[in-house]
């Protein structure tokens, strides 16, 4: 099973049932170098074979076209586990080389640090200072506590997000501030733009890149 990374604030939103969408750049690098030159046509196929067709008019005079058929990282129907900062509580398993076991080890405790809170996977107390915090990049499936199933995928420009979709992204209303002054009433869409820029500094909101929009549900 493959894993997926989320901002800690978004992990909390998923846990609370507030987040059911995520927008991703993965798989779109080739067209996001010059996103304004490409046109999204439509999706082709389904499941793991589903691709998204983009077209680039190389030369309008002679009607030459570049075509790109791009696949999202996670297909519809796939269940993936959420990666987050984690910690092994049993002292004997502190060295990474020793962590090659499954959850049937009685002494194993796993804690997560998703939003500055610690949680125990089962029994006993939280891990506390028993182990070092580990990068979410290397979190294995057996240590995960949340799983999501991909229900649908669409492609489009980032700024096409609606207010309703921004709510489904799980954001909390945050006022937009420019030179210390509140700019209008805060909206979920504006709040999502602020979150996006904090996570994607190399492909910011104002560049309006193409994204894959994933609809998902949290597995129980």
Q: How confident is the model at residue 112 (pLDDT cuts 50, 70, 90)?
A: confident
| Residue 21 · residue 168 · CB < 8 Å | yes
**Minimal CA–CA distance to 60: which of 39, 32, 91, 89?**
39
> What's the mean pLDDT in 47-59?
86
**Minimal CA–CA distance to 209: which of 23, 69, 64, 84?**
23
**Whole-angstrom Cα distance, residue 157 to residue 212?**
9
> pLDDT (tens digit, 9 = 90+) per residue, 163-211?
999 999 999 887 655 545 555 678 899 999 999 999 999 999 999 999 9
Where is mean pLDDT largest: 42-51, 92-101, 181-190? 42-51
Q: How many CB atoms lie within 10 A of CB 196?
A: 21
* Predicted structure pTM score: 0.80
**Minimal CA–CA distance to 114: which of 3, 194, 4, 7?**
7
């Amino acid at each position: 099973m493959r894993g997926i990374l989320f901002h800690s604030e978004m992990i909390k939103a998923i846990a609370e049932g507030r987040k059911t969408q995520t927008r991703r750049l993965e798989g779109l690098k080739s067209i996001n170098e010059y996103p304004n030159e490409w046109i999204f046509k439509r999706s082709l196929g389904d499941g793991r074979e589903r691709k998204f067709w983009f077209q680039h008019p190389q030369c309008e005079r002679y009607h030459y076209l570049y075509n790109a058929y791009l696949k999202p990282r996670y297909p519809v129907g796939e269940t993936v586990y959420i990666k987050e900062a984690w910690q092994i509580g049993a002292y004997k398993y502190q060295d990474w080389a020793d962590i090659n076991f499954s959850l049937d080890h009685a002494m194993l405790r796993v804690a997560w640090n998703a939003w500055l809170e610690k949680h125990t996977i089962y029994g006993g107390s939280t891990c506390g200072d028993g182990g070092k915090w580990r990068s979410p990049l290397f979190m294995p499936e057996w240590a995960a506590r949340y799983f999501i199933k991909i229900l649908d995928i669409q492609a489009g420009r980032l700024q096409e997000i609606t207010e309703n979709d921004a709510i489904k992204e799980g954001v909390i209303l945050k006022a937009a501030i420019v030179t210390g002054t509140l700019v209008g009433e805060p909206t979920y869409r504006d709040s999502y733009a602020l979150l996006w820029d904090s996570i994607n500094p190399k492909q910011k909101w104002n560049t309006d890149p193409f994204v894959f929009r994933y609809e998902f549900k949290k597995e129980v």
